Structure 1
Amino acid sequence: MARRTFVNVIHRLLRHPLSRLIALTGLVLLIPLCLRVALGWLNPLGILSDLAIASLLIVLLHKRPWWQSLPVLLAWGVMTLATVELVSAVGRLPTIADLHYLIDPQFLENSSGGGFAQPWLAVTLLIGLVIWLATQWMGRSVPAPGLPRSAWAAPLLLLLTHWGIQHLQPSEADQWVVYNLPHQLLAASVGDVQMRTEEWLEGDTVEAPPDMAGLTQLDLDGQKLLATPGSARNVLIIALEGIPGAYVGVNRQALHSSYQENLMPNLSRWAERGMNTPDYVLHSHQTIRGLYAMLCGDYDKLDNGTPKGVEMLTQNERNQACLPAQLRKNGFSTHYLQGAGLRFMAKDKIMPHIGFDTTLGLEWFTNSNYLEFPWGKDDKAFFEGALDYVGQLKKQKQPWMLTLLTVGTHQPYSAPDDYLQRYDTPKQAAVAYLDDALGEFLSGLERKGILKDTLVVITSDESHGIDGVRLASSWGFNLTLSPQQDQLPHVKSGVYGHVDLSASILDYFGLPVPSALSGRSLFRDYQTGREIMSYTNGKLRYHNGQGTLTECDFQQRCRNYASKGFISEQVTLTEQYRGKRARQTLAKATALNHSLLRTPLNQHYQFGSPAIIPLQAQIKDDWADNLIGAQYLEMPKGSHTRVRMTIRSVDPQQKAYILLKAKELEQDVPLGLPEEMVVTADQPLQMDFSFDNPEPRKAFSFHLLGYGLGAVEVSDFSVITEETGQSESVSELPEGSS
C-alpha cells in the first residue's frame, strides 16, 4: 500500500502543470549553482552569468516539444561538463574552436588520459535530464502554463547587467569563475564582431610596427652585485613542475600577499638562506615553453602557437646562443635530467640541439618508484636518483651544468596515502610530497659539499595557479644559492622573469653574453623599470616598466592598472579600451612570437630518430606514452598539412601495434586512419597522408602510440604545413630537420 501511494504521489507530481518548468529550472540553474559551490567558484558575476543563461534557456525551451529541446539541453550539458574537465586538466575554458568536438565521444577525456575529473557532475546532469524527460512524458496531456511576455526581458537584463559590471569594475578572477561557458562564448563572438567593425570603420590605415627594444634587448647596464666573477665552479638549475611563487614564504612577505598557506615549508626555509626574487614572471604555460625561455633567453609564444623549442630545430644559429651551448663553449660539461620520458614535446631533440652534452629521462633511472605515477618518477625517487647523478659529476675534473626537471606535481597529482590523508586535495598532497623530497635533496647536496662550489638556481617551469590569488598563473620564483651568498641581497628588488635567467648565469661567471639573448641580469641592480610580458590563463599581460600593467582578455579588450611591479596583491584600474590601442599591445606579443620564424608555413619538422623505443604491454596514457614529440603545432588558416611516417618492429619475432591520434587544444581530432596498425620487422609501416586546415589550428598534437612485447624504431615522422595548392609531394621532403 505504501509503495502504491508513493508511486501515485510521484505520478501526480510529474503530471503537475508546473512540473516541466520546475524540472527545467532545476537542470539549467540549480545544478550550475551547486557546481559553483562545490568547486569553490562562487562569484557574484558567475552567479549572474548562470542566471542569464538559465533564464534564456527557460524562455526558449519551456513550451517547446521535447524533441526540439533535447538537443539544446544535451549541448548545454556537454558544455557544462567540458568546462569542468578542461579547467581541471589544463586550467582554461573551452573556446569556440572546440565546439565541433561536441560530437566526439572522447571529447571530455582530460589530458591525463583518464575519465571525468568530477564524475558526480555527469551523474547529476544525467539524473536532471531524465527527470525533465519524465515530466515531459507524463505531463504531455496537461497544458503547461505560459510565461509572461516580460520574462523575455530577464536574460537580456541579466546579460546587460553582467556586461555593465565587467565594464565599470572588471573582475580579475579566472574566466570560469566569472562566466558560464555559453555566456563566455557569446561574449567572445560579440567582441569579435565589434573588433571587426572597428577595424572596418578605421579603414586600411597601416599601423606602425611596435617598438620592441624594451622587450628584446640585452640590458647589462645595471650595477654589479658581485665585484668579481662568481666563485662557483658548477651550475645546478632545478625546475619544479608547476610551482607558483606564492608557495615561498619570503615572496609572500615581500609582496604582502594575502595567501598564507604554507604548503612548502622546506623550500621556504631554504629560501631564507638564499637570494629571492619575489616579483618573478612566468611568461607562459607548458613545460617546454618555460624551459625554452629560461635556457635560451627569449620569450616563447604568447599564444598557443608552435613552441619555439620545436621551431629552433629548423635552424643552427640561434640555438648556439642558448645557455647550455654557451657554457659548453666555455669548458662546462652540460647535462639535462628529467623524471619523465624525453620524447614528449621533442625534448629528446631540443635539449641536445641547444647545447646539452647529455640528455637523460625516465630510462636512466634504476631506482624504484615509491608510488605509481603515469608521467614517470615520483619526486622522492627522482631526487634520490638526481643526488646520485650529482655525485657522479662531482668526481669529474671538468666544471658542469646540470638542469633538473621534476614531474610529480603535474596533473593528475599523485602522492602517498599518508600525504593524501593530511591534505584536502591531491594537488596539495603532491606539492607537500615534492617539498619534502626537495628538502632531502638540498640537504644531501650540502652534506656532499656541492653547495660550496655550485651556483644553485631553484625555480619552476610554469605555475599551476592558486584559486583566488591574483596573477598566480604568472607568478614564478627564483631562489639562488651561491657560495658568495653574503654578498647578495636576501630579497632582490625589481621585476625579472625566465627570459633573464640565461643572461644572469653567464653574467655571474663573467662570461660573454651573446647579443641574441634578451633580458637583464639578476646579479645587477637597475635604477629604472623594464618592459615584460606574459600570457597565462588566456590573458595577455604587459608591464611598461613605468608603473602601468596592461591586461588584455579574450575579447581583445585591454585594461590599464596602476602597478609598481608586475606581481602585486592589489592594483588600481585606471582605464580600459579596445581598438587601435589594444591592437598595439597585441602587436608586441605577435612580434615576440616571430622572433625565430616569421611564418609557420613550409617548415619541415622531423620527429623521427634512430632510437629504439621499448613498447609497453598496453597503452595507459595518450600523453605520457607518446612515441614522438610532435605536440602543440600551429597550422594557419587555409593551409595544408602533410605527414610521412616510417615505423618498424625491431624484434623479428614480435609484432607491434601502432595507433596514431591527433588532438587540438587537448581534444581529439579524427584523421580518418585505421584504429590500429600492425608492424613487423619484415613489414614496416610506411604511410603518407595529408589534411586541410580550413580554420587556424593551435595546439595541434600528434599522439603516436604503440603496444606489444618488443620495441620499435620510428625512423621518420615528418610534418610540413604549406599553402594549399603547393605541388611538392611528401616523398620529396628532405631527410632530417631543415
Structure 2
Amino acid sequence: MSRGFAALAALLLAPWLFRALALLESARGPALGDLRGFLADVAVSLAILAPVCLLSRWIRWLGILLVGVLAAAYYANYETITALGAIASPLDLKFMADPTFVQGSAFALAHTAVLVVAVVASLGLAWIGLGRARASDVLLAFAGAGVFFGALSFWPADPTLVPWRQVNAIQYNVEWLAFREVETQRGDFANPAIAMRELVPEIGADLEAPPRFAFDGRGQNVLLVVLEGVSGGYLPTAARRHQRAPFYPLAKLDHTFSENIGYSTFLNHQRRTNRGLFALLCGEYPRLLVGMPKMSTTSGTPWRRCLPEILREHGYHTVYLQSASLSFMQKDRFMPAIGFTETLGQDWFEEPHLRTFWGVDDRTLFEQALEKLKELESEHRPWFVTMLNVGTHHPFTVPESFETPYDDQFRRAFNYMDRYFRRFLRQLENRGLRRDTLVLVTSDESRGDLMTTEDGMASILTENWGFLVALLPERQRLVVDEVFAQSDVPLSILDYLGLAEYGTDFFGRSVFRHYGRGRPIFYGNVNHRMIGGLKADGSIVQCQFEGKKGCGRYQPTDGRIFSDTLPRINNDEAFAETVREMARRSLPPQDTGPLIVPLVADPVFEVRHDHFQMVQGITQISVETDEWYEVDLEFEVRGEGAVNIYHKLTLSPVRPLIEVRTKLEPGQTLKLRYTVAPDIRVSASSLRTHARMAEGLPAQLVFRKRRFELVRGGERPPQGPNLLVAEIDPPPEEPARLSTLVTPLQKYRSFLHKRERRGMTREDLRGAAPNE
C-alpha cells in the first residue's frame, strides 16, 4: 500500500505544487472551485497511474521517465498560466522547434530551482512506488479514477472562475480534442472577406456617419505604432470608463491617451501578433479559430489588397520596422507581399542598449526609429511607417541598469517601454514631425488582466481589450467610448487621408466618425479556445471550445463590455450560430493554384553571430492529400568566414522528415532540391534554415534560388520525401562534411493515422505558439 501511495504521490506532486504556486501568484483569493481543481488533479493522476504501473511491470525505467516528463509538462502549464492566463495546449509544442522562441522565451524560466526539485522528487517517488507494480495496483488506480471522475461529474464548474483553476490541464486538453473536429486549414470560400460580409453585411466598410470634427489629411504622413501586449486596462483613463482599477498602470501612455483622442472600448480580434497585425494592416478579421493564420497564406499570394499597397500606389514610401527577428511568423515575407517598400528587423539596429534572442530593447527601437523618420522626411514625399516593439513580450527585454520601483520583469518591461515611448513622442514633437503626421498608437494583442478579475468570463474578455490613441496634427482632444476594433484601422486611415474610396473592400468603420447605432463585431481567443461576438444591442455571446461545447450570452452593465462582471442572460442560439459560422468563414481562402513563397525576402543574408540565426522559417503550412511540396534552394557563402548550415523539414515534433547539415567555406555553394508528397493530410508542417559563424568571422549567404512551392495540380511526384539534389560546389575535400537524413514517410503513417482516429490533426502534434 505504501508503494501505491508513493506512486500516486509521484504523479500528484507536480500538478498540486504548480497549481498552488499559480494560486499564490494570482491576484484573486481562493475559491471553492479551486478545490475542484485539486480533486481533478487526483482523478487524472489515478487514471494515468494505471497505465504507468502496467508499463513499469515490463520496462520500469520507462514508466519512471514518463513521470518525470509529466512533471516537466505541468511546469510548462504553470508558465503558460502565468504568462497567458490560460491552460497550455498541445499546439504549443511547435514553437519548441523554433530557436527564436526557445532561446528567447522557453529558456527564461521563472522558477528553475522549483522545476528541478519537482522533477527529481517525482522521479524519486516513482522509483520507490513503481518498483514492484502489481496487477491489483492497476485495478485500484482505475477504480479510484472512476470514483473521482464520478464525483466531479456532479460538481459543475463555476462560470465565474477561469478554467485552469477548476480542471486538470491534461483533462482539459483531452476534452477539447474530443470536441474538436478534424482541422480544416483552408476555408470553403475563395475570398473569406466576401464570405464573411455576405453572412453579416454590417461588418463591411461603413462611412455613413458624420465626422467627429473637421479633418483634411490629404498628403499627410502616417505613423502606426504597435505596442506588444498592451491592454486598455493598463490605462487608468480607459479603465475608469469601465468602472474598474487599472491592472498595471502605464502613467505616461495614459497621459498621451487623455491628451489626444483615446478610444476606451477598443476590441482586439485575437491573441497572437500575426493575427493582430493582419487585422490592423489588411482591414479584415484574422483567423478566429486555431490553425494556420492568414499571415502565413498571405505571405505567398495575397488574395486582397492591404493598406500598405494602397498607400504605396498613392506615392507613399512604406516601411515596416520591428525590433524582433523578421523570420519569426514570416513577417519577412508577409510585409513585402502586402506592400511595404522596406521591411526592417532586429539586424537593422546598430549598437543597441540591449540585444537578446528576441530582439533589441524598446529604447533602441524608439531612438533609432527617429533617425529613420528623419531620413524619410528628407525624401519630400509622404510616408507610412508601422513599428512593433518586442520588449514587453516574454521574457521582457530590459537592461539591468534600468532603475524602476518594480522588481518583477513584467512591470519593469512595461515601465521601460512607457518611459521611452513618451520620450519618443516628445522628440517627434521637437523635430516638427507632428505637424504633418497622423500618429496612431495601438497594440497587436492584449495580455489582459492576468488573473486579477473575480469573474472568469470577464477576465478572459480582457484579453481582447485593446486600446487606440490618435495624435492628430489638428490637436484634437477627446475620450471616445464608442466600440471600435482593430479591423477599423485601415479604413480609418484612408478616411483621414481622403482616400476612403479605395477602402470599400475593408471591414469596419472610421474611428474619426460618430455612429449612433451599434453593430456586430466578432473575435476569438486561441489561448482559451474561445470565439465570441458583440451584438448590435451590446450583449456578448462567448462560445467555449470554439463553439463545440456551448455558448453563453452576457449583458454588460450600461454598455461597459470590459467591466469586472458579465451578468449572464438568456441564450441567443441564432446569434451563437452566427458566431460559429463567422469563425468558419474566417479561415484562409480556398485556392486551387500553387502557393509559391520566396524562402527569404532578401537574397543576401548576413551571418553575424556564433549562435544559430534563423535564415528562413515557414510554419503552420498545411498539405492536403492532393498537394505536395517542391523546394529549391541554392546559396553561396561570401565574406571572411565559414558558415554552419542546418536545414530541416518537419511534419511532426518526432523528428525531421528531411535534415541537412553542412559547413560551407567562402566561395562554396549549397544546392538543395527536393519534393515531399504525403499520402495523408498534414495540417501543420515546418520548413526552416539556420546559419551561424563557424570560425568567429562574419559572412554572407547569397541566394540564387529560394523557392518553396505548395503544388495543387499537375503530375504528382513519387509518394514520400524525394531528395533530388544535395551537393556542394566546389565539392569539399571531406565528403562527410555534407550530412543528409531522409526519413521514409511510411514511418509516420501509422503514427499519424492513429492520431487521426483520436480526432487529432497534424497540428495537434506540432502545436501553436503561446504568444506573439
How far did 1:706 drift? 0.8
Map of 1:510 onto structure 2:
498
Map of 2:395 onto structure 1:
412
Q: What is the 5 A alignment of 1:667-706?
A: 668=653, 670-674=655-659, 676-680=661-665, 681-690=667-676, 692=678, 694=680, 696-698=682-684, 700-706=685-691
Partner deviation per Cα, 1:6-30 (whole Å, 9 max, x = no partner)? xxxxxxxxxxx53x34434543345
**Alignment partner of 1:438 out of 415, 421, 426:** 421
Matched-pair contact (CA < 8 Å) for 2:233–2:448: no
CA distance in 2, matches of 1:309, 1:385: 27
**Alignment partner of 1:588 out of 561, 582, 585:** 582
Map of 1:14 onto structure 2:
none
Q: What is the 5 A alignment of 1:473-552?
A: 473-486=463-476, 490-513=478-501, 514-536=503-525, 537=527, 538-552=529-543
Partner deviation per Cα, 1:560-587 (whole Å, 9 max, x = no partner)? 2123365343212224699x97554222
Query: How many pairs does the alignment contain?
Result: 678
* Shift in CA distance, 449/723, structure 1 to aligned 2, threshold 3 Å: closer
Give SS of 1:466's match. Answer: coil
How far did 1:266 drift? 1.1
**Alignment partner of 1:123 out of 116, 125, 130:** 116
CA distance in 1, matches of 2:674, 2:362: 40
Q: What is the 5 A alignment of 1:565-644?
A: 566-575=561-570, 584-594=578-588, 597-599=589-591, 602-609=594-601, 611-620=603-612, 625-636=613-624, 638=625, 640-644=627-631
* Shift in CA distance, 80/313, structure 1 to aligned 2, threshold 3 Å: closer
**Alignment partner of 2:263 out of 277, 289, 297:** 277
Aligned-partner residue type, residue 77 of structure 1: A
Map of 1:213 onto structure 2:
200
The answer for unaligned runs of 5 or more in structure 2 is 58-62, 184-194, 454-458, 725-772
Partner deviation per Cα, 1:379-427 (whole Å, 9 max, x = no partner)? 1111111122222333443232222221211222121225587324212
Matched-pair contact (CA < 8 Å) for 2:673–2:723: no
After the TM superposition, which of the residue ranges 33-42 and 541-550 deviates more from structure 2? 33-42
How far did 1:190 drift? 4.6
* Shift in CA distance, 140/670, structure 1 to aligned 2, threshold 3 Å: closer
After the TM superposition, which of the residue ranges 227-236 and 336-345 deviates more from structure 2? 227-236
* Shift in CA distance, 717/691, structure 1 to aligned 2, threshold 3 Å: farther
Instruction: Work out whether 1:400 is the aligned partner of 2:397.
Output: no
**Alignment partner of 2:369 out of 355, 375, 386:** 386
Map of 1:170 onto structure 2:
159
Instruction: Work out whether 1:187 is the aligned partner of 2:175.
Output: yes
Map of 1:558 onto structure 2:
551
**Alignment partner of 1:247 out of 218, 234, 242:** 234
Aligned-partner residue type, residue 634 of structure 1: S
Aligned-partner residue type, residue 659 of structure 1: Y
CA distance in 2, matches of 1:501, 1:145: 59
CA distance in 1, matches of 2:31, 2:689: 42
Aligned-partner residue type, residue 499 of structure 1: S
Map of 1:355 onto structure 2:
339
* Shift in CA distance, 100/614, structure 1 to aligned 2, threshold 3 Å: closer
Matched-pair contact (CA < 8 Å) for 1:415–1:433: yes
Map of 2:275 onto structure 1:
289
Matched-pair contact (CA < 8 Å) for 2:197–2:204: no
Give SS of 1:473's match. Answer: helix
CA distance in 1, matches of 2:480, 2:464: 18
Aligned-partner residue type, residue 464 of structure 1: R
Aligned-partner residue type, residue 646 of structure 1: L
How far did 1:236 drift? 1.3
How far did 1:115 drift? 6.4
Give SS of 2:585's match. Answer: helix
Map of 1:712 onto structure 2:
701
CA distance in 1, matches of 2:294, 2:144: 52
CA distance in 1, matches of 2:714, 2:324: 40
Map of 2:33 onto structure 1:
45
Partner deviation per Cα, 1:267-286 (whole Å, 9 max, x = no partner)? 11111211111111111233
Matched-pair contact (CA < 8 Å) for 2:205–2:509: yes
Q: What is the 5 A alignment of 1:337-356?
A: 337-356=321-340
Aligned-partner residue type, residue 593 of structure 1: L
Give SS of 1:239's match. Answer: strand
Map of 1:23 onto structure 2:
6
Aligned-partner residue type, residue 266 of structure 1: K
Give SS of 1:279's match. Answer: strand
CA distance in 2, matches of 1:114, 1:66: 31
After the TM superposition, which of the residue ranges 143-152 and 703-712 deviates more from structure 2? 143-152
Aligned-partner residue type, residue 518 of structure 2: G
How far did 1:138 drift? 8.1
How far did 1:504 drift? 0.6
CA distance in 1, matches of 2:7, 2:403: 38
CA distance in 2, matches of 1:495, 1:105: 37
Matched-pair contact (CA < 8 Å) for 1:86–1:110: no
Aligned-pair identity in percent equals 24
Give SS of 1:551's match. Answer: strand
After the TM superposition, which of the residue ranges 22-31 and 401-410 deviates more from structure 2? 22-31
Matched-pair contact (CA < 8 Å) for 1:340–1:361: yes
CA distance in 1, matches of 2:77, 2:523: 24
* Shift in CA distance, 689/133, structure 1 to aligned 2, threshold 3 Å: same
* Shift in CA distance, 109/420, structure 1 to aligned 2, threshold 3 Å: farther
Matched-pair contact (CA < 8 Å) for 1:331–1:398: yes
The answer for unaligned runs of 5 or more in structure 1 is 1-16, 196-207, 733-738
* Shift in CA distance, 125/446, structure 1 to aligned 2, threshold 3 Å: same
* Shift in CA distance, 86/723, structure 1 to aligned 2, threshold 3 Å: farther
CA distance in 1, matches of 2:711, 2:205: 34
How far did 1:241 drift? 1.6
Map of 2:733 onto structure 1:
none
How far did 1:525 drift? 0.7
CA distance in 2, matches of 1:462, 1:243: 7
* Shift in CA distance, 56/370, structure 1 to aligned 2, threshold 3 Å: closer
Matched-pair contact (CA < 8 Å) for 1:249–1:268: yes
How far did 1:588 drift? 0.9
CA distance in 2, matches of 1:619, 1:252: 43
